[in-house]
Structure 1
Amino acid sequence: MLVSTQANAELSINVSYLKQDIDSGPVLSNILPKPDDAGLKGAELGIKDSNTTGRFLKQKYNLTSEASDSPAELIEIAKKHYNDGIRYFVTNTSADTVRQLSDQLPADVLIFNAGSADDDLRSNACLPNVLHTLPSRAMLNDATAQWLKYKRLDEILIITGPTDGDKAYSSAFKRSAKRFGLKIVKEKQWSFDTDLRRVAQKEMPLFTQTKEYDVVLVADERGDFGEYVLYNTWYPRPVVGTQGLSPVAWHRVVEQWGAAQLQSRFDKLTGRWMTSEDYASWAAVRSVAEAVTRTNKADYETVNSFIRSDNFELAGFKGRKLDYRQWSGQLRQPIPLVHPRSLVSQSPQEGFLHPTNELDTLGFDKREVKCSK
């Protein structure tokens, strides 16, 4: 990190963005693919926004981005960036790669996990040099479960896909169901390789035939079958989860609380809509910039201490100021519940209270984690 010792000289803040190219396997539906640059463009907008105000404060933000499908190569790139003076890293990688980066980089770095929703990173690993700007699966499913409870949709059919991510998503929802008093009527495993574009109307009603339920929870992170559950269930019931009404960090339909301005700036920069990974990367860069602006210092010790303090607040366009949980490093944030053309609700739902912060009704509260910082 370059920090000038002259009082009136410009502060130079360098950020590294690391992307792991992960092959998710063949997708069995014709869903719209995620943009290849999801995450990166959010970081770029974060840099652009930071420089907009930074130029008046003599602050200059720079982004270095690298991508690889090899965790080992990304770790070597990160070490090189560290030797070049970079102390702030935004990662869009697997959970395992986050762990390796945390372990192999020196202690005086701040790694923002903007790509993995893995619950174990927040509840067991609790890496001391990692903060999480992407919501965990637990946060997402708590947001859905609160809405279901609020709507009195208490009896759930779960359909879980074959991937590890699907199973983790389903497990997170079952935790949420127990937490908020929902009943799992039945859980079914999706193991077909059928082309549902042709046979969904025949196959899906039979597959979803069971004891009556209020709603169907779909755990299909890759998008193999989930889109075809809607309107094809045995009982005419709503669908929630990875398809249907979905909990997300960010979506194009979020426009309140000044979010339309963020959406507009992102569209102007990229020509597309902002994804959850984009938002998480943007929030990571802006967290660093907020700390630098408030302290007028860019060194690791000052920035890290301020971000983790009670004085830190991030204006995240979600209706309230955001900050980080001291026990897990997770960015507290409301969770929008959306379908492709509308914002339906935002959790925490009204009436779900917490002794200190209602946002801590989403995800792992302090008493639920098995580690401490």
Structure 2
Amino acid sequence: MGPFALHRLSSTLVITAALLLGGTAVSAADSDTAADILQIRIGYLGFTPDPGPLLSNVIPEPADAGLRGAELAIEDSNSTGRFLKQRYELQAIEAQSPEQLLEAAREQHGQGVRLFVVNAPAAILRQLSQALDDSLLINAGSSDDSLRQSECLPNVLHTLPSRAMLADALAQFLTVRKWSRWLLITGPTEGDQAYAAALRRAAKRFGHTIVAEKAWSFDNDQRRSAQAEMPLFTQTAEYDVVLVADERGDFGEYLPYHTWYPRPVAGTQGLTPTGWHKTVETFGAAQLQKRFEAHAQRWMNDRDFAAWMAVRSLATAVGKLHQSDAGAIRTLALSEQLPLDGFKGRKLSFRPWSGQLRQPIPLVQPRALVSTSPQDGFLHPSNELDSLGYDQPETRCNLAAAHP
């Protein structure tokens, strides 16, 4: 073998060795990079009780409401998280009973999960709060006012609007329109009674008069009898608007165009205050709507948005803190130093006394956005969003001063 061949062989061996060493170096760098990535696990705990037989042909809420919003938020968080060396994982549980949900939550907790999004009724949320006392739970499923007013749970924040927020948003709009005389019709369920209580509070707060209250107790099929029964049922002293509290949808859909006086219907049916709706499109919301529809193959509802907002709140806090400690995230959220983007035209934040997410409330009919509250002219000493729901002097809670 000549000198030139030996030189080529020597050069080849050097290059090969360099490549091998370089490959080893790259692998080590990749390993170091992977080790540097902050892994954030978020538990999703879902339970929706059986609503029982419906007396109308109301379109039921999707069975996956809430979960799809959380999934999309995980995708969004990972899109930005890769630049911050953060990786988010959703561990979702949808149980068939409260007992199963509690058991699954304890199992996730035993595996080290300390951040949870909960889509469940208030009673179950209270149990979860106690069982997961060193964790942070974000309520995306219960609008119960007592959770924000009298029995604030120290380790729970809320992204779903309370009933008081919804009622105040509606009452502000009715004030602007000067529809001040209300006929209030209430269904028989516990949720209906709670919604009606929120409407009564809003009426008193904004100077409206409830001219009459009627309790709906019919159990017949309104698809056949609404035209005959509703006009007589709504015959009373003259009113400007009919307010309905029918969260399950047993009868409220049959009130519009069937009232004794030709008046608008609002509340759980008709003109409805809600945390989110398909018709919300401004401030970049249309892009969120499209991404959600591509992900879930349906429209985004208020539970979906609340769960999306819950995950995004956690991810925003982690990005700011560079850690995922539940206590540190809670402290930051309640400090009002965590401005959040919710595609509602304003920076959102959690109220330090109740943990409720401040947010504008859309007022919608089925296929159109009518208005958004707070309405112009409703002022507040510190934040106009606090004109919706229980303000600090109206609640016995002070989460910022409490320790979970």
Q: TM-score, normalised by structure 2?
A: 0.89
Q: Specify every segment of 5 or more residues in structure 2 that has no aligned partner in the other structure, as ranges.
A: 1-31, 400-404
- Distance change (3 Å), C-alpha of 1:135 and 1:31: same
Aligned-partner residue type, residue 160 of structure 2? L
Secondary structure of the structure 2 residue equivalent to 1:171:
helix
Match of 1:54 in 2: 81
Match of 2:288 in 1: 262
Residue from 105, 119, 131 that aligns with 1:104:
131
Alpha-carbon offset, residue 7 of structure 1: 11
Secondary structure of the structure 2 residue equivalent to 1:14:
strand
Which 4+ residue blocks in structure 1 deviate beyond 6 angstroms? Answer: 5-8
Alpha-carbon offset, residue 8 of structure 1: 7.3
Residue from 305, 317, 320 that aligns with 1:294:
320
- Distance change (3 Å), C-alpha of 1:7 and 1:31: closer
Secondary structure of the structure 1 residue equivalent to 2:345:
coil
Match of 2:101 in 1: 74
Residue from 30, 41, 45 that aligns with 1:14:
41
Secondary structure of the structure 2 residue equivalent to 1:56:
helix
Alpha-carbon offset, residue 194 of structure 1: 1.7
Match of 2:141 in 1: 115
Question: 1:193 aligned to 2:219?
Answer: yes
Aligned-partner residue type, residue 101 of structure 2? L
Aligned-partner residue type, residue 110 of structure 2? N
CA distance in 2, matches of 1:21, 1:8: 39
Match of 1:312 in 2: 338
Question: 1:144 aligned to 2:174?
Answer: no
CA distance in 2, matches of 1:301, 1:99: 18
Match of 2:29 in 1: none
Give me the CA root mean square deviation: 1.5
1:186-265 matched pairs, under 5 angstroms: 186-265=212-291
Question: 1:246-278, CA deviations, whole angstroms, 9 ceiling, x for partnerless residues?
Answer: 000000000001000100100010110001000
Match of 1:37 in 2: 64
Alpha-carbon offset, residue 295 of structure 1: 2.1
Aligned-partner residue type, residue 134 of structure 1? L
Secondary structure of the structure 1 residue equivalent to 2:71:
helix
CA distance in 1, matches of 2:201, 2:91: 39
CA distance in 1, matches of 2:252, 2:282: 28
Contact 2:336-2:351 within 8 A present in 1 as well? no
Match of 1:360 in 2: 386
What is the identity percentage for the equivalent residue pairs of Structure 1 and Structure 2? Answer: 59
Aligned-partner residue type, residue 58 of structure 2? I
Contact 2:136-2:327 within 8 A present in 1 as well? no
Alpha-carbon offset, residue 370 of structure 1: 1.6
Aligned-partner residue type, residue 41 of structure 1? R
CA distance in 1, matches of 2:393, 2:70: 33
Q: Specify every segment of 5 or more residues in structure 1 that has no aligned partner in the other structure, as ranges.
A: none
Secondary structure of the structure 2 residue equivalent to 1:191:
coil
Question: Which protein is richer in helix relative to its size?
Answer: 2
Question: 1:88-107, CA deviations, whole angstroms, 9 ceiling, x for partnerless residues?
Answer: 11011010011111112132
Aligned-partner residue type, residue 299 of structure 1? D
Match of 1:328 in 2: 354
CA distance in 2, matches of 1:308, 1:195: 48
Match of 2:187 in 1: 161
